[in-house]
Amino acid sequence: MKTLDELWSRGRAFLNVQYPVLCGAMTWISDSGLVSAVSNSGGLGSLAAGNMEPELLEQEIIGTRQLTDKPFAVNLITIAPRYHEHLEVAASHNVPFIVFAGGIPSKHDIAQAKQSGAKVICFAAAESLAKRLLRNGADALMLEGSEAGGHIGHVSLSILIQQVLFAIDEVPIFVAGGIGTGRIIPHLLLMGASGVQMGTRFVMTEECSVHPAFQKAFIRAHAKDAIATPYVLSELKVVPVRALKNKGMEAFLQLQMELVHEVKNRNLTMDQAQIKVEEFWAGALRKAAKDGDVANGSLMAGQSVGLVKKVQPLDSMMKELVTEAESELKCIQNILV
C-alpha cells in the first residue's frame, strides 16, 4: 500500500506545495491574510476576486506576495461584472495559478492566463465539460459537489467522482464539497483525486478575518442547516448558493420575485437581473462575514459545517488533517491485509 506522500504526489508536484490541500476562494473572506497563511502552512491559498474593484484585487495580489513566497492562486468568477478586468490584473502580475469558476471560460481566456505563466484550474460539472475544458487548455480540473458552500452546482461529489474522476486521467483532478476531516482524504486519493479543496474548515481558523459572530454561527450549525437557495424563475439563471438558513435567505427569495417582475415588465434585462443577484450576495456576505450581522447577512457554508466545532490556528488545523489522513490510511491498510 502506498504512503500518503505517494498518494498525493501528483497534486504536490502540480501545485508545488507540501500538502495538496486548497483553500476555496470565498468572497470577503479569502483575503491576502488568509491566503498567505494557508500557503505558509503548506497548502494552497486562493484569492477571491469576487466582485471587487480591479485595483483592490491588484493590492491583494501584491499584499499576498509580501506575506508569503509560496505559491497561491487567484480565483476569477466568469460571470462577475469586472471579470475581464480581473483576468487582466491576474495575468499582468504573473500569479502562479488562475482558477476559473462560476461559468465556462473561453479558450481565449484560458490562453491569456497561460501566456502569463499561470497554471489554469477549471471547475467541471460533467465529463463532457471536463473534456471541453481540457481541449481548451486547462491544466487541471476541480470537481466541486453540491455539498459545498457558496455558489454550487446541482450534482453531488459522489456522482462527479464517478462521472469525471473515474473517466479522466490526463490531468490532476482536485475534489471539493463536504470535506471537513482528514479521514476522508485518503479515500478520495485512492479513488484518483490529486488533492482536496475545503472552504468551511478554513473559516474556522484564527487566521481567518471573519467576524467572531460568523464563526460562532458555524459552531452552532448542523449539516442540515446549510441549504441551497431556492429560485423562482429558471430564466434568471440564478446560480444556487449554499448558506445557513436565516432572514438573509428569505430576503433573497423576495429579491428574486422583484427581479422577475422587473424583467417581465422589461424594466431590466436578464443580464442586468443576474448582476443584481451577484451584487446582493456580495453585499449580504460582507454584512455577515465582516459586520457580524448573522441574522440578515449571508452565512455561506458547506454541509461540512456540521463537522466543525472549534476555532484553531491554521497550522494546527493543517497538521490535524494530515495526521488524521495518515491514521486512516493505516486503517485501510489493515483492512486490506
Quote helix, strand, coil % in the chain, to nearest 5. Answer: 50, 15, 35
161's enclosing H/E stretch is none
Q: Which residues of 126-154 are buried (b: 16+ CB within 10 A; e: fewer)?
A: ebebbeebbebbbbbbbbbbbbbbbbbbe
307 alpha carbon, distance to own chain's centre: 18
Cα–Cα distance, 96 to 88 (Å, whole number): 14
Sign of the torsion formed by the C-alpha atoms of 13, 16, 19 and 22: negative
| pLDDT on residue 251 | 87
Distances from the Cα of 192 to the Cαs of 39, 62, 272, in angstroms? Answer: 23, 35, 41
| pLDDT on residue 249 | 85
- Best CA proximity match to 84, nearest among 58, 62, 115, 105: 105
| pLDDT on residue 322 | 98
Query: What domains lie within the chain, and their CATH numbers?
Result: 4-210+308-336 (3.20.20.70), 212-303 (no CATH)
Query: Which amino acid does the sequence have at 175?
Result: V
106's grid cell: 473561453
Query: Which amino acid does the sequence have at 160?
Result: L
Q: Read off the pTM.
A: 0.94
Contact assessment for residue 123 and residue 144, using Cβ atoms and an 8 Å cutoff: yes
| pLDDT on residue 133 | 97
| pLDDT on residue 65 | 98
Contacts by residues 117-126 (CB-CB < 8 Å, ≥ 24 positions apart): 118/90, 118/91, 118/94, 119/14, 121/73, 121/97, 121/174, 123/99, 123/153, 124/164, 125/153, 125/154, 125/155, 125/160, 126/155, 126/163, 126/164
Q: What is the pLDDT along the chain (337 residues), one digit of tens a residue?
A: 789 999 999 999 999 999 999 999 998 899 999 999 999 999 999 999 988 999 999 999 999 999 999 999 999 999 888 999 999 999 999 999 999 998 899 999 999 999 999 999 999 988 899 999 999 999 999 999 999 998 888 899 999 999 999 999 999 999 999 999 999 999 999 999 999 999 999 999 999 999 999 999 999 999 999 999 877 666 666 778 899 999 988 888 888 888 888 888 888 888 788 778 878 877 888 899 999 999 999 999 999 999 999 999 999 999 999 999 999 999 999 999 8
Helix-helix angle 270-289:212-220, to 10 degrees: 90
Cα–Cα distance, 217 to 223 (Å, whole number): 12
100: three-class secondary structure by DSSP: strand
| pLDDT on residue 100 | 97
